[in-house]
Structure 1
């Protein structure tokens, strides 16, 4: 990805995450990026192309964040994972709030625009490539299903914190409860 294209997509994420989907226009991205009018439309001819580009950039940025998370998880144990994931969720709901809001806007748009779904599916598959082995390392008996459940909880925690911010946001309690429940085998009781 060229620096200019990345700069435009990062500006588009900020527009989408701070102003909403209706305000995501080529002109708004040009202004946010501090570039001359027409810069965004030169890179992304249509709004659909812009939306697809934003979605691909979101996947790239979030995957990098999850990859950085993985570095802190060797060796993996539940307590360490919960601590690091909790830190990431607080970062996403504070410093990268725009990123999460932009992603959720596009997820909702994908509900009525199926052409956006392949990029979302590809992103989830990339994330599963990292998360499924982690769940295996934590002792999961069904790592693929357990990782999907964990992602669902993460999405719910993010939405809840963004919609109704709590100053003492502590996702670790819910993460620990879920992982303990998922990873406890019937023979362990």
Structure 2
């Protein structure tokens, strides 16, 4: 069961992911969490603190998801890597669309908020490290995996904007992974 703090942060993710950066206020978070007015500001006094809390909560939830994804595919093979990346890309842009949009909104906010910038950078580093470890297990270099991660970042944006909506990403990922293998 989620704590009140997690409840506030999950509501903030929902507000940020559905309404964008301008929609994120303490009052909007209180409404989304169905909590009394002032609840969000009791945990996060400033908007900056709330944004940093959201970044940390996203990182927590991402870590949980990546751990589950690693267990799902078992021993490392190129086929498992392609399947995991396909699942990740599809999940991030469908089931987990709001959370992905919240992450992108945080990225924009992080340009003006140094503490948030560090938190966003740390989360991206963790994702990149996970991908490099996964790639290394099937023979991809760190540089090749970096190219793959950069492709995924772009693919997420294209799918969220509708440019690739409904298209199965597997064929493109398969082609890219095989091209990057030594």
2:159, 2:131 → 1: CA distance? 23
Query: Displacement, 1:125?
Result: 2.8
Aligned to 1:171: 169
TM-score for the superposition, normalised by structure 2: 0.92
Aligned to 1:115: 115
Query: Cα distance 1:174–1:56, how it changes in 2: closer, same or farther (>3 A)?
Result: same
Aligned to 1:81: 81
* Per-residue Cα deviation, 1:128-185 (whole angstroms, up to 9, x for no partner): 4432222111112x22x233222211111111111116453211122112211111x2
1:76 and 1:137 in contact (8 A); partners too: yes
Query: Displacement, 1:6?
Result: 0.4
Asked whether 1:156 is paired with 2:166, we answer: no
Coordinate RMSD, CA, aligned:
1.6
Question: Structure 1 unaligned runs (5+)?
Answer: none
Runs of 4 or more, structure 1, over 4 Å off, are: none
Matches within 5 A, 1:21-40: 21-40=21-40
1:20 and 1:102 in contact (8 A); partners too: yes
2:97, 2:55 → 1: CA distance? 16
Aligned to 2:145: 147
Question: Structure 2 unaligned runs (5+)?
Answer: none
Query: Cα distance 1:182–1:166, how it changes in 2: closer, same or farther (>3 A)?
Result: closer
Aligned to 1:104: 104
TM-score for the superposition, normalised by structure 1: 0.88
Asked whether 1:56 is paired with 2:42, we answer: no
1:17 and 1:102 in contact (8 A); partners too: yes
2:81 and 2:135 in contact (8 A); partners too: no
How many aligned residue pairs are there? Answer: 181
2:11, 2:85 → 1: CA distance? 26
1:35, 1:76 → 2: CA distance? 45
